[in-house]
Amino acid sequence: MKKLEGRTALVTGASRGIGRAVAERFASEGANIAINYVKNSEAASEVVDIALKFGVEARAYQANIGCENDCAQLALAVIEDFDKIDILLNNAGVGSTAIQRPNIVEATNEQWDRLMSVNFWGPVWLCRNLVPHMRQVPRSDVIMMSTIAVQALSPRFGVYAVSKSALEAMAHTLAREEKCHGMRVNIIAPGLVDTDMGRNVVNATGFGNNIREVDSKSPFGFVCTPEDIAATAVHLCSDDGRYITNQRITVAGD
C-alpha cells in the first residue's frame, strides 16, 4: 500500500521547487493533490498532469498566499472540490534576495510586509480557514516549510529569518493546541536547496556563479535537492511519522 493512500493534501507554491517535488512525491504515494500557484499556470498544469498519471485526483488553484482573501477563497475551493483536506503543507515563500537583502534597520515597511505576508500571514490565514475542517478527520497533518536562516541569523538575511521565526513559533503553538484533535504539526527547515531561490542566494552572496560550484563545499559532496525535502515530508505525513509532532526537522546535511 502506498504511504499516503486515501489522503488529500494542499501544497502551496507547488508549481516549482520544493513545492513541486512535494506535490509529485505525495501523488506517487497515493495522495490527492491541490496544487497552489501564483503566476505560472503552465507549470502548475504540468504538475497536475504528472499527478494524474499516478491515478490520483489533482487540480491547480491560482492564489496569492500573501493575500488574506485569496487564502480564504483557496480554502473554500479545495474543500468544495475534494470534500476532505487532511494535509496542509505551507511551502509558498519569498526569500531575502527578492527584497535585495536589506539590513534590519534599512528594511522598509514594504519589504517587511512582502516577506511577512507570504511567509507568516499566509500560513496563519490558511490555518484559520482549514484547521477547523481538518479537525473532523481522525488524523491530519500541517507542515510549515522554514529555513536554517532562523538558526544562522546571518547579516542581511534578517527580515527573512524573522518572518520564518514567527512561522515556527506559530507552528509549535498550533501543535500543542490541536493535538487533541489528532493533528500533527511539524516544521521542515532546509538548508541550501537546488531551487530558483537557492540559486539566487548563491549568486547574491558570491558563493559562485553556478550552484554546481557549491557541491564540493556541501555536506556529502552535493547540494540538497527538492526531492530530499519531499522525502522528509512524506515520512512525517505517513504512518511512519504518526508519533511525531511539534518537531523541527533540519534538512541541511549537518
Catalytic residue positions? 160
User: Would you tell me how many other CB atoms lie within 10 Å of the CB of residue 71?
Assistant: 25
d(C-alpha 84, C-alpha 92), whole Å: 21
Instruction: Please state whether 48 falls in left (phi above 0), alpha (psi between -120 and 50) or beta.
Output: alpha
Strand partners, 251: 190
d(C-alpha 168, C-alpha 184), whole Å: 14
Grid look-up 556541501 returns 218
Q: Which amino acid is at 64?
A: N
Q: Which H or E run contains 142?
A: strand 140-145
Alpha carbon of 7 to those of 58, 85, 184, 234: distances in Å? Answer: 12, 8, 14, 12
Alpha carbon of 193 to those of 17, 123, 154, 199, 237: distances in Å? Answer: 9, 21, 17, 8, 21
